[in-house]
Amino acid sequence: MSTISLADLSRLSIADIDVSGKVIFFRTDLNVPMAEGQITDTTRIDRTAPGIADLAARGAKVVVAAHYGRPKGERVDSMSLEPIAPALAKAIDQNVAFVSDCIGAEVEAAVASMANGDVLLLENLRFHQGEEKGDADFAAALAKGIDLYVNDAFSASHRAHASISVIAGLVPSYAGPLMAAELTALAAALEVPKKPVVAVVGGAKVSTKLAVLNNLVAKVDALIIGGGMANTFLFAQGVDIGASLAETDMADQARAILTNADAAGCRIILPVDVIVAKEFKAGADARHLTLGKDHLDADDMILDAGPETVALAVDALNTAKTLVWNGPMGAFEIKPFDAATVDLARQAAILTRMNGLISVAGGGDTVAALAAAGVDDKFHYVSTAGGAFLEWMEGKTLPGVAALLGQA
C-alpha cells in the first residue's frame, strides 16, 4: 500500500492553486441509486458538491465528468447523467449546464462558451468504450481544452479508467476536497492508526473478502467477524450451524485466516451466541441460542449475532483507539435480524463521542446499515466508497490515487 503522507496530501490538494479562469476537468462519482427516475440517496452528490461550488466561486470553469451504471461503452438512455444535473444544481446552488456527450465538437463548443464560475456536466463517460479500456486517445480527447484535472472520485478510483488514471498523466492533476478527506480518514484508520485498532468485517461471503481478511489480520489488533461469513468460520471450526448460509468450500481458507491471525497476534471475535429462525422474513419466529450449549435444529438458520457477541465486540471497542468497519453483523435488512448491527453501531457512535474512538466505515451495505441505526453522521468518517473501500482494505494502491501520486 502506498502510504499517503500529509505532505503528499497538501502537494496534491487543489485548495491552494490559483484556478481563476482555468478550465478544470472535475472527475467525480455521481453513481447514485435511482428508482423510477428519482434519486433515492443523494449522499455522493452532496459530498462532492462543496468541491465544485468552491472551484466555481474561485472563478474556475468547472467541467464535471462522471460515469453512471455500466452501459459497457454504448449510449444507454436510462443511464444518462442528464437527470442528475438538476440535483447537482440544487446541491451547489447554481445553474448546471448539460452537454449530451463527454468528448467531441459539441463539448468543445460548450466549454469554449463557459464564463468564469460556470459549471458544465458532461454525459456519462462510460458511453464510450475508451473510458473503461483506459484508452490513451480517449483520455487525450477528454483532456482537450482542459487546463487542470481534479479527481474527487475516491469511490471510483479503484478503476484504471481513462478519466481516473490515464488523464492524470496528461494535465496537471490534483485531489479534490472529498478525495483528500477520504485519503486522510483512511490513512488515519489503517496506514498510520492510533492503536489498538479493531476491525469489524461482516457481509455474506468469505470468498469476496478473503484478501480483506488476510490484510486485516496482519494489521489490526482485533477482528470482529459477523454476517453470513461468520457462519463459514464457525463451520470451519466444527460448530453446528444447522441450515445457515455458509460457504463450506471455503473452510480451509477460513482456517488459514484464523492461523494467520494467531501468528500475527490478532484476536478474532466470532459469534458466541446467535439469533436463529426457520424462515428469513420480517417478524419470523426468532430464537436466541448460545453456541456450544443450546441445540440448533437442522432447519435453523443463523441470521444475526446475539447480545453476548455484541458485548464481546463492545469490550474490544472500549479499549480501542481506532475502528474500521465494513459489512453488517447480521441480515440487517430484515427485522429483528438488524439488532447486532444496530447495537454495535450505536455503541461505536457513543465511543466515538465519549472516548474519541476514530471510527471509519465504508461499503454500500455498511453505510445503509449505519444509516438505519441512525448513526451514519456520528462516526468519525463514513466513506462514500463501496468497491474502492474494499480494495483499499485489501491493502491495494488504487489506480486513481497512484496516478495522482505520479506512480501510475
Residue 147 contacts residue 114 (beta carbons within 8 Å): no
| Catalytic choice (27, 44, 126, 159) | 44
Of 232, 272, 223, nearest to 255 (Cα)? 232
267 classed as catalytic: no
- Coarse DSSP helix, strand, coil percentages of the chain, rounded to the nearest 5 percent: 40, 15, 40
Give me the residues paired with residue 274 across strands. 289, 305
353 classed as catalytic: no
Of 375, 325, 355, 368, nearest to 189 (Cα)? 325
Which single residue brings its beta carbon nearest to Mg ion? 387
Beta-carbon contacts of residue 49 (< 8 Å; ≥ 6 apart): 88, 91, 92
For residues 136 to 175, the per-residue mask of contacts with ligand 3PG, x marking binding by CB under 6 A and - elsewhere, is -------------------xx--x----------------
Residue 325 contacts residue 368 (beta carbons within 8 Å): no
Minimum CB separation of residue 30 from Mg ion in Å reads 13
Binding site for Mg ion (CB under 5 A): 386-387
387 classed as catalytic: yes
Nearer to Mg ion, 162 or 197 (CB): 162
Q: Which does 126 bind (CB under 5 to 8 A by kind): ligand 3PG, Mg ion, none?
A: none
Q: Does 73 bind ligand 3PG (CB under 6 A)?
A: no
Q: Which does 155 bind (CB under 5 to 8 A by kind): ligand 3PG, Mg ion, none?
A: ligand 3PG
Nearer to ligand 3PG, 132 or 304 (CB): 132
Q: Does 363 bind ligand 3PG (CB under 6 A)?
A: no
Q: Does 387 bind ligand 3PG (CB under 6 A)?
A: yes
Minimum CB separation of residue 147 from Mg ion in Å reads 31
Question: Environment class of residue 260 by beta-carbon count within 10 Å: exposed (0-12), middle (13-18) or buried (19+)?
Answer: middle
Residue 249 contacts residue 305 (beta carbons within 8 Å): no
Nearer to ligand 3PG, 30 or 344 (CB): 30
Query: Which member of 226, 228, 386, 400 binds ligand 3PG (CB under 6 A)?
Result: 386
Of 207, 337, 321, nearest to 271 (Cα)? 337
DSSP 398: P
Helices marked H in 355-398: 364-372, 387-393
Q: Does 72 bind ligand 3PG (CB under 6 A)?
A: no
Three-state DSSP at 21 gives coil
**Which pairing describes strands 34-35 and 287-290: parallel, antiparallel, or unpaired?**
unpaired
Query: Which member of 28, 31, 151, 253 binds ligand 3PG (CB under 6 A)?
Result: 31
Nearer to Mg ion, 352 or 384 (CB): 384
47 classed as catalytic: no
Minimum CB separation of residue 364 from ligand 3PG in Å reads 7
Q: Does 29 bind ligand 3PG (CB under 6 A)?
A: yes
Nearer to Mg ion, 209 or 380 (CB): 209
Of 118, 142, 143, nearest to 62 (Cα)? 118
Minimum CB separation of residue 70 from ligand 3PG in Å reads 5
Q: How many residues bind ligand 3PG, per CB under 6 A?
A: 8
Here the contacts of 101-104 (C-beta below 8 Å, separation 24 or greater) are: 101/127, 102/65, 102/127, 102/128, 102/142, 103/128, 103/138, 103/141, 103/142, 103/144, 104/141
For residues 274 to 313, the per-residue mask of contacts with ligand 3PG, x marking binding by CB under 6 A and - elsewhere, is ----------------------------------------
Between the alpha carbon of residue 82 and those of residues 85, 95, 128, the distances in Å are 5, 13, 16
User: Residue 249's CB: how many other CB atoms inside 10 A?
Assistant: 10
Q: Which does 176 bind (CB under 5 to 8 A by kind): Mg ion, ligand 3PG, none?
A: none
Nearer to Mg ion, 69 or 336 (CB): 69
| Catalytic choice (59, 73, 169, 387) | 387
Q: Which residues here bind ligand 3PG, judged by CB under 6 A?
A: 29, 31, 70, 155-156, 159, 386-387
Q: Report, as residue numbers or ranges, the catalytic residues.
A: 44, 205, 364, 387
